[in-house]
């Protein structure tokens, strides 16, 4: 059986929240369990560097993300788990790919385009605050993917365009040299978007998140802040319109979900519903929180795991890059 390489990068920018867990981490861990895939998940620390220019912050973010994924169930024996910055071959490939990426393609990449348009709106120079890392971000991402001949790339909707760009770059290279690169495909998880405290999508940019490994009392306080309507205790409530229920069902078994649904119809009070939500979330995260904290106090252990992953990844990257270089005449 030929296993398909499924690869994704995790950008290390900031504290993880419940929305990241439900929307990205959990589905990715699910995919990694399938027998017919060869999962490769990595910390995209060089992508983070396009924005994070502070030594300690960058370090803490990278370790935090690595610890969280391991704590939530990533098995590094089964899934190649590594840091992008430990694979120098990615950068040789970045330059090669740059020479096959039209500048116009980069101009159209949405992250750059958004900054540019904002600059123009505000009357600044269009490239104000844009470093070359931001501009060529999609090329680094293409190198991440193409170096390992990944077929499927699980991502959020906002990253689809980047995978398309990686395909474009690979196609332009292949049309000159034959089928060297595998064309990647994005795989967007069906997972519902988790609502945040104010009912909008849970997102750091809205400031409405519940951090994944928050202290229990803080998590409780935050859950108590979830917006509800003004219906009274004993009044029938619509579970499908409720942020509390929507989050609850992502952590509950089917049976628990149906029971809670009935309780909504029976008029559970918002206070009780929040209590139930807090219990199930904190119970689910109890053990991962312990493991997470252990890793964060033993970073040498994290380094060991990530470096081992990088070594195994380089076993694939080194010979493939050699082939690519030979093909182009280097």
Residues lying near ligand TRP in the complex (CB under 6 A)? 7-9, 11, 44, 47, 141, 144-145, 153, 155, 159, 162
Rounded to 5°, the CA angle 158-33-284 comes to 80
d(Cα 106, Cα 320) in Å, to the nearest integer? 26
Pick 7 or 52: Cβ nearer ligand TRP: 7
Nearer to ligand TRP by Cβ, of 151 and 162: the residue is 162
Residue among 162 and 289 whose Cβ is closer to ligand TRP: 162
Residue 191 Cβ vs ligand TRP, minimum distance, rounded to whole Å: 15
> Does the CA dihedral 237-221-20-107 come out positive or negative?
positive
The Cα 153–Cα 168 span in angstroms is 15
Least distance from C-beta 155 to ligand TRP, angstroms?
Answer: 5
DSSP 8-state assignment for residue 297 = T
Q: Which residues pair with 41 in a beta bridge?
A: 8, 81
141 vs 316, beta carbon nearer ligand TRP: 141
Query: Do 112 and 133 touch, CB atoms closer than 8 A?
Result: no
Whole-number Å distance between alpha carbons of 106 and 83:
25
- Quick one: 155 or 165, whose CB is closer to ligand TRP? 155
What span, in angstroms and rounded, lies between the C-alpha atoms of 45 and 164? 22
Comparing CB distances to ligand TRP, the nearer of 144 and 276 is 144
**Phi/psi of residue 28, each to 5°?**
-65, -40
Nearest-approach distance from CB 291 to ligand TRP, in angstroms: 24
Q: Which two tokens stand for residue 131?
A: 């470093």
Rounded least distance, CB 8 to ligand TRP, Å: 4
Closest-by-Cβ residue to ligand TRP is 9
Q: Closest distance between ligand TRP and the C-beta of residue 253, in Å? A: 30
Cβ at position 57, least distance to ligand TRP in Å:
17
CA 165 to chain centre: 18
């Amino acid at each position: 059986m030929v296993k398909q390489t499924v690869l994704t990068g995790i950008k290390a920018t900031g504290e993880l929240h419940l929305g990241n867990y439900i929307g990205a981490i959990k589905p990715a861990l699910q995919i990694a369990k399938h027998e017919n895939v060869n999962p490769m998940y990595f910390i995209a620390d060089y992508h983070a560097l396009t924005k994070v220019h502070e030594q300690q912050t960058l370090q803490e973010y990278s370790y935090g993300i690595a610890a969280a994924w391991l704590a939530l169930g990533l098995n590094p024996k089964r899934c190649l788990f590594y840091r992008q910055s430990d694979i120098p071959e990615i950068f040789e490939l970045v330059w090669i790919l740059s020479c096959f990426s039209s500048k116009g393609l980069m101009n159209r990449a949405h992250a750059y385009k958004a900054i540019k348009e904002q600059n123009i709106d505000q009357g600044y120079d269009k490239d104000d605050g844009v470093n070359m890392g931001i501009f060529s971000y999609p090329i680094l991402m293409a190198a991440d993917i193409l170096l390992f001949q990944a077929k499927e790339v699980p991502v959020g909707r906002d990253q689809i365009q980047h995978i398309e760009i990686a395909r474009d770059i690979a196609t332009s290279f292949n049309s000159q040299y034959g089928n060297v690169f595998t064309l990647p495909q994005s795989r967007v998880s069906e997972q519902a978007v988790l609502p945040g405290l104010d009912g909008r999508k849970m997102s750091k940019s809205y400031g409405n998140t519940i951090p994944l490994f928050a202290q229990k009392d803080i998590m409780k306080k935050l859950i108590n802040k979830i917006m509800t309507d003004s219906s009274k205790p004993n009044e029938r409530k619509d579970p499908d319109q409720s942020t509390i229920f929507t989050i609850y069902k992502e952590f509950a078994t089917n049976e628990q979900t149906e029971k809670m649904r009935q309780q909504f119809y029976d008029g559970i009070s918002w206070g009780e519903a929040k209590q139930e939500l807090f219990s199930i979330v904190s119970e689910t995260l109890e053990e991962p929180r312990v493991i997470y904290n252990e890793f964060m106090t033993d970073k040498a252990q994290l380094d060991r795991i990530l470096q081992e992953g990088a070594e195994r990844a380089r076993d694939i990257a080194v010979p493939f890059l050699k082939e690519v270089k030979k093909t182009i005449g280097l």
